[in-house]
Structure 1
Amino acid sequence: MSKFTRFINFFRTKKNIAIDLGTSNILIYDKQKKKIVLNEPSVLVKDKKTGEIVAIGHKAKEMLGKTSDNLAVIRPLSEGVISDIDATREMLNIFVKQIYGGSPFRPEIMICVPAEVTSIERRAIFDAAIGAKKIYLIEEGRAAVLGSGINISLPEGNTVIDIGGGSTDIAILSLDEIIASKSVRIASNNFDDDIVKYVKKKFNLLIGDKTAENLKKEIGTAMPVSGEENLTVAIKGRDLSTGIPKTVEINSNQVREAIEDSINEIIIALKEVLEKCPPELSADILNNGIVLTGGGSLLRNFDKLIEERVQITINRATNSLESVVVGGGLAFDNKKLLRTLEMREI
């Protein structure tokens, strides 16, 4: 096969990609390759004078809290939606070029969004997807269930809790439709903020978001723990009394205390959705359990706490960090589902 023929065949190939525009990370799934082709932090660093992008993704995240006044750290997504449309466009454009270079194809794009985005937020998402042939929007809860390997086309109820970086989506689905749902702007990033505030109040110590995130991942827990499970680590920050760097120790139960209110709000939202469930589907949910997914769901003992509060089996997704974007890619194969999604053709 000649190079020219290969080029023509590539040009004719229908490209379908799914994008999870997360507050913490952007993931891109290529349906034809059947794999995630990009997973990068959704952050970029710009030179304030020139407007030039200095770093993006992992390199930009490493610079958090360490930049000079000449550089601006930008997180273009907040609480699961676009807060800076221009920066989002730039970021998507760079990431897509990293993967596909200057290829001439115009893909069909499936963008995963929180269930309760406003019309203005939806418009911003459509506008950010430059160069696409068609743009679909799919609710993160619906995508997460698909990506977890559950057939939502069957006449039975399935429930999902997707805890991302900026928002938590809770949905009950049956026959490809969302029966009841709720999206709350409380998720994993809120846990980090809670930890920063707690450490400031309890220890009079100022720590950064990265330190808080590491605390959450390394020793965090959703339930009280004892003995060897109550882990302790030393953290470093700036003493607010003296202005001098200081080290203090913090344990798992203290981290749990810091994030308790945010966790309770997520559980309250889950109960509100379950209360809207029709009786026949309630029986299905008791049988099938609830799927727990998203990066925030990886918090230690979170599944046990939810199970204790609602008395329903919690099933952790095996691919918690990727289920939403994988489900977005799988949605292209469900023609009935595609007809129910909001779409813009360019």
Structure 2
Amino acid sequence: AIDLGTANTVIIHKGRIVLNQPSIIAIDAKTNKVLAVGKQAELMFGKTHDSIKIVRPLRDGVIADFYVAEQMLGAMIQSVLKRSKILPLNLRIVICVPSGCTEVELRAVRDSAEHTGGREIYIIQEPMAAALGAGLNVQAAEGNMIVDIGGGTSEIAVISLGGLVVNKSIRIAGDEFTNDIQNYLLQKYDMKVGAVTAEKIKIAVGCASKDLKDAPGEYLVQGASRHSFLPMSVNLSSNEIVDALDRNIQEIERAMKSALEMTPPEIYVDIMKNGIWLAGGGALLRGLAERFTRSLGIKCNVAENPLMSVVNGAGKALKDLKNMPFLAIN
């Protein structure tokens, strides 16, 4: 099972995570030869010369560069096959996609998986996979709401009887949060930082609310002045990150409210009882669940191991294909 995410690609085999790498590839600009993928390629990010291209082939949760995505996925699968001694001819793959994918985008995902040696390719929508991974009974005659905040998209879905009753996919998620931090530093301190530094800031002091009891301390950021190009340092507080992220968090809140407005009354009552479940890396933002709870008036819960909810759910689907009618087969 594969979670081909904008930020990270995760592969699970027989219930065990066999690969968890950044969705990034380094290629030779002249020959298109693959130089590195995953963590090795990420180490090169922002430090290359003209002969090396660093590419993130996924954007907003879908494949933006088909050829490069195929190369990246193929290299990752081959590394797993070598370590795990799995025969390529026996590959049965469940791969996750955002619920808002177009037919063209779905075909790109299927083709990439096929060309890496998959015998049978199944497609599962990310919110359904996230719900399975969070331990929800998606086939029960009962409504559940899942919000999967990934790297490129936030997937918001109401699920009942094995189907998506309501689903919204918005292209505001972890990558936008990273951009928000870069823009905040640029506007307030005239400091330029790269995406890797902004991601570290988000992990270290990222918060969604200013009233946290266990808020992290200040974080020292080093970078260059936009105008003088001289080195500078800033002690950044968690409250400043709240300000930086607030606009996009509000957008996710609005999308959640919109989904609830479209939810049938009986299912709405189920959600009031069961709460809303958060998955994806964005769910780890400090105080986010509590903020959503205050805003929506419905208890919001963070799934156990939210970073792996989607791929774990895809793994569950792969184990029980006969009882997963919502899977689309290639």
Shorter-chain TM-score tier: over 0.9
Which of 93, 105, 126 aligns to 1:109? It is 93
Instruction: Identify unmatched segments of 5+ residues in structure 2.
Output: none
- What TM-score comes out, normalization by structure 1 length? 0.90
Report deviation, 1:342.
2.3
The number of residues matched between the two structures is 324
Superposed, 1:125-274 pairs within 5 Å as 125-129=109-113, 130=115, 131-225=117-211, 229=215, 231-274=217-260
In structure 2, distance between residues paired with 1:226 and 1:241: 35
Task: Report if the CA contact (8 A) 1:199-1:206 is conserved.
Answer: yes
Which of 312, 322, 327 aligns to 1:335? It is 322
The answer for the alignment partner of 1:14 in structure 2 is: none
Report deviation, 1:336.
4.1
The answer for the alignment partner of 1:122 in structure 2 is: 106
Moved over 3 A (4+): 225-228
In structure 1, distance between residues paired with 2:40 and 2:214: 36
Q: Once the two structures are aligned, what percentage of the paired residues are identical?
A: 40
Which of 48, 54, 57 aligns to 1:73? It is 54
- What TM-score comes out, normalization by structure 2 length? 0.95
Report deviation, 1:240.
1.3
Report deviation, 1:246.
1.2
The answer for the alignment partner of 1:46 in structure 2 is: 27
Q: Does the C-alpha gap of structure 1 residues 179 and 208 become closer, same or farther in structure 2, counting only changes over 3 Å?
A: same
Report deviation, 1:215.
0.8
Q: Does the C-alpha gap of structure 1 residues 162 and 237 become closer, same or farther in structure 2, counting only changes over 3 Å?
A: same
Report deviation, 1:226.
7.0
Report deviation, 1:340.
3.0
In structure 2, distance between residues paired with 1:99 and 1:230: 37
In structure 2, distance between residues paired with 1:82 and 1:315: 30
* 1:257 partner SS: helix
* 1:229 partner SS: coil
Does residue 1:87 correspond to 2:86, yes or no?
no
Larger Rg: 1
Task: Report if the CA contact (8 A) 2:88-2:118 is conserved.
Answer: no
Report the AA paired with residue 16 of structure 2. Answer: K
* 1:202 partner SS: helix
Task: Report if the CA contact (8 A) 1:158-1:288 is conserved.
Answer: yes
In structure 1, distance between residues paired with 2:52 and 2:276: 44
Report the AA paired with residue 245 of structure 1. Answer: P
Report deviation, 1:230.
5.9
Report deviation, 1:106.
3.5
Task: Report if the CA contact (8 A) 1:225-1:253 is conserved.
Answer: no
For the aligned residue pairs, the C-alpha RMSD in angstroms reads 1.5
Report deviation, 1:228.
7.0
Report deviation, 1:84.
0.8
In structure 1, distance between residues paired with 2:108 and 2:270: 37
Report the AA paired with residue 190 of structure 1. Answer: E
Report the AA paired with residue 257 of structure 1. Answer: D
Report deviation, 1:109.
1.2
Report the AA paired with residue 200 of structure 1. Answer: L
The answer for the alignment partner of 1:26 in structure 2 is: 9
Task: Report if the CA contact (8 A) 1:44-1:55 is conserved.
Answer: yes
Task: Report if the CA contact (8 A) 2:58-2:64 is conserved.
Answer: yes
Report deviation, 1:232.
1.2
Report deviation, 1:104.
4.0
In structure 2, distance between residues paired with 1:62 and 1:219: 22
Task: Report if the CA contact (8 A) 1:21-1:111 is conserved.
Answer: yes
* 2:80 partner SS: helix
Report deviation, 1:335.
2.4
In structure 2, distance between residues paired with 1:56 and 1:340: 32
In structure 1, distance between residues paired with 2:213 and 2:317: 46
* 1:321 partner SS: helix
